[in-house]
C-alpha cells in the first residue's frame, strides 16, 4: 500500500527520579485524549518531484526523538501522539487525501494539532483538513519560509513547491496568504509576479534580519480579517548553520531567535484576538542530511512552543 496509517511509537527518554516530582520531560506527559496533539506525515514524494534532496520521510521520527528529552514547561498539560500517515511510494495525492481526512476528524477532538512533516506538500493536506473541519470559515495562512511555494502544477503533478497555488485553486476569492522570510534569490520573478497578482503579502528575510518586528503589522492585519489561523513553518527559513538538514539549505536565512519570536507573536495575537490557531505544521526536515541532528533540535524547539503556548 502506498499510504499506511501507523500507530504512535512508544515515547521514552531520560528520567531523573532523584530530582523529585518536577523532573518532567516531554516523554513523561504523552497520553491519549489530550487537548493538543502531534501527528506525523512521513512523506518526501513532493520534495523528490520538486527536485530537492530526499530525506523528509524521516522527519517525524527525528522530531519525536528531539522532543522526548526536552524539559516540560511548568504546569505543562499532556499532549497526544496520533501516529504517522506514512507515504512509502510516489502516491503523494493519496497521502494528502489521507492527511486531510484524518485532520478533519481529529480536529474535532483536539484544540490544536501539530503536523510533523514531511516536505511542504504537507501544507495542502493540512489546509484541506482544516477547511473540512471548519467549513465556511475564513482561514488566514501564515507561512514562515524562504520560498513562496506558488509553483503551478506541472506534468509530474503537485509537489512541495505547489501547495499554496493548489490551495488558491480551491477558492481564489478567499485565498489569504502571508509569507514571512522570503529570499529574493530563491524565488524566480515568475513566482514573485504571481504572488503580486494573487495578493500575497510578503515580508523578506532582509527585513526580518534588520528588524524582528518587521512583520508585526502584516500579522495583525491578517489575524484581524480571519476567523482561524493556519501556521505552517518550513524549517529552511533558518540559516544553513541552524538548519543544515533540509531540502534546500538557506545561505542567508532568518535567525532562529527571530523565527521563535514570530511564532510566539503569531500565537499571542491569535489568542488575544479570539481567532484560534487550531492547526500548525513544521516541514522540510531532512535528517539524513544532518548527522548531528542540529536541524531536528531547532525544529523541536518550535514544536514545543506550539504545544504549550
Sign of the Cα pseudo-torsion (144, 307, 229, 214, in order): negative
Q: Cα separation of 69 and 48, whole Å? A: 31
149 assigned to a ligand binding site: yes
pLDDT bin (cut points 50, 70, 90) of residue 88 is confident
The answer to whether 19 is annotated as binding is no
Q: Are 118 and 59 in contact (CB under 8 A)?
A: yes
| 171 assigned binding-site residue | no
pLDDT averaged over every residue in the chain: 96
Q: What is the four-CA torsion angle of 117, 242, 27, 13, rounded to 10 degrees?
A: 120
Lookup result for grid cell 470559515: 137
57 annotated as belonging to a binding site for a ligand: no
Residue 145 annotated as lining a ligand binding site: yes
Which DSSP helix (H) or strand (E) runs through 297? helix 294-308
DSSP-assigned letters across all residues of 262-296 = HHHHHHHHHHHHT----EEEEE-B-GGG-TT-HHH
Contact 155, 222 (CB under 8 A): no
The pLDDT, as a whole number, for residue 191 is 98
pLDDT at site 240: 94
pLDDT for the residue 154? 87
Q: State the pLDDT at residue 156.
A: 87
Q: Cell 492585519, residue?
A: 221
pLDDT at 134: 98
pLDDT at 216: 98
User: What torsion, rounded to 10 degrees, do the Cα atoms 14, 58, 259, 50 define?
Assistant: 180
pLDDT in tens, 115-150: 999 999 999 999 999 999 999 999 999 999 999 999
Confidence of residue 1 (pLDDT cuts 50, 70, 90): low
Distance CA 161, CA 98 (A): 20
Residues 198-255 have pLDDT tens digits of 999 999 999 999 999 999 999 999 999 999 999 999 999 999 999 999 988 998 999 9
pLDDT tier at 276 (50, 70, 90 boundaries)?
A: very high
- Between CA 61 and CA 82, with CA 75 as vertex, the angle to 5 degrees is 30
Quickly state the pLDDT bin for 2 (edges 50, 70, 90): confident
Give the confidence band of 170 by pLDDT, cuts at 50, 70, 90. Answer: very high
C-alpha cell at position 284: 522540510
C-alpha–C-alpha distance, residues 43 and 57, integer Å: 4
SS (H, E, C) 175-215: CCEEEEEECHHHCCHHHHHHHHHCCCEEEEHHHHHHCCCCC
Pick the CATH number of 3-12+24-308 from 2.60.120.10, 3.40.800.10, 3.40.50.150, 3.30.70.141: 3.40.800.10
pLDDT of 19-51, one tens digit each?
A: 999 999 999 999 999 999 999 999 999 999 999
Q: H/E element holding 122?
A: helix 122-133
Domain ranges (residues) in the chain: 3-12+24-308
What's this model's pTM, rounded to 2 decimal places?
Answer: 0.97
With contact defined as beta carbons under 8 Å apart, do 209 and 182 qualify? Answer: no
Compute CA distances 280 → 9, 28, 66, 140, 212, whole Å. Answer: 21, 23, 18, 12, 21
Residue 120 counted as an annotated binding residue: yes
If pLDDT is split at 50, 70 and 90, which confidence band does 155 have?
confident
Amino acid at each position: 500500500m502506498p499510504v499506511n496509517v501507523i500507530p504512535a511509537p512508544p515515547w521514552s527518554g531520560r528520567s531523573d527520579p532523584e530530582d523529585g516530582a518536577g523532573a518532567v520531560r516531554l516523554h513523561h506527559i504523552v497520553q491519549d485524549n489530550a487537548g493538543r496533539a502531534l501527528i506525523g506525515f512521513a512523506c518526501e514524494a513532493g520534495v523528490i518531484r520538486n527536485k530537492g534532496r530526499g530525506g523528509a520521510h524521516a522527519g517525524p521520527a527525528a522530531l519525536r526523538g528531539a522532543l522526548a528529552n526536552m524539559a516540560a514547561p511548568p504546569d505543562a498539560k499532556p499532549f497526544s501522539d496520533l501516529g504517522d500517515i506514512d507515504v512509502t511510494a510516489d502516491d503523494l495525492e493519496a497521502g494528502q487525501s489521507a492527511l486531510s481526512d484524518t485532520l478533519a476528524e481529529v480536529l474535532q477532538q483536539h484544540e490544536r494539532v501539530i503536523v510533523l512533516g514531511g516536505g511542504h506538500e504537507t501544507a495542502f493536506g493540512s489546509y484541506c483538513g482544516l477547511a473540512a473541519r471548519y467549513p465556511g470559515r475564513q482561514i488566514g495562512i501564515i507561512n514562515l519560509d524562504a520560498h513562496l511555494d506558488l509553483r503551478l502544477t506541472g506534468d509530474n503533478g503537485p509537489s512541495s513547491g505547489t501547495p499554496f497555488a493548489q490551495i488558491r485553486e480551491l477558492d481564489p476569492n478567499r485565498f489569504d496568504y502571508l509569507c514571512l522570510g522570503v529570499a529574493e534569490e530563491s524565488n524566480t520573478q515568475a513566482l514573485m509576479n504571481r504572488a503580486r497578482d494573487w495578493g500575497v503579502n510578503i515580508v523578506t528575510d532582509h527585513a526580518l534580519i534588520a528588524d524582528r518586528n518587521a512583520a508585526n503589522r502584516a500579522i495583525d492585519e491578517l489575524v484581524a480579517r480571519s476567523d482561524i489561523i493556519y501556521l505552517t513553518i518550513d524549517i529552511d527559513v533558518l540559516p544553513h548553520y541552524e538548519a543544515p538538514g533540509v531540502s534546500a539549505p538557506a545561505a542567508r536565512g532568518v535567525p532562529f531567535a527571530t523565527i521563535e519570536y514570530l511564532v510566539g507573536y503569531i500565537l499571542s495575537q491569535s489568542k488575544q484576538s479570539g481567532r484560534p490557531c487550531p492547526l500548525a505544521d513544521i516541514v522540510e526536515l531532512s535528517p539524513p542530511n544532518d548527522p548531528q541532528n542540529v536541524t531536528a533540535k531547532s525544529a523541536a524547539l518550535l514544536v514545543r512552543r506550539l504545544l504549550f503556548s
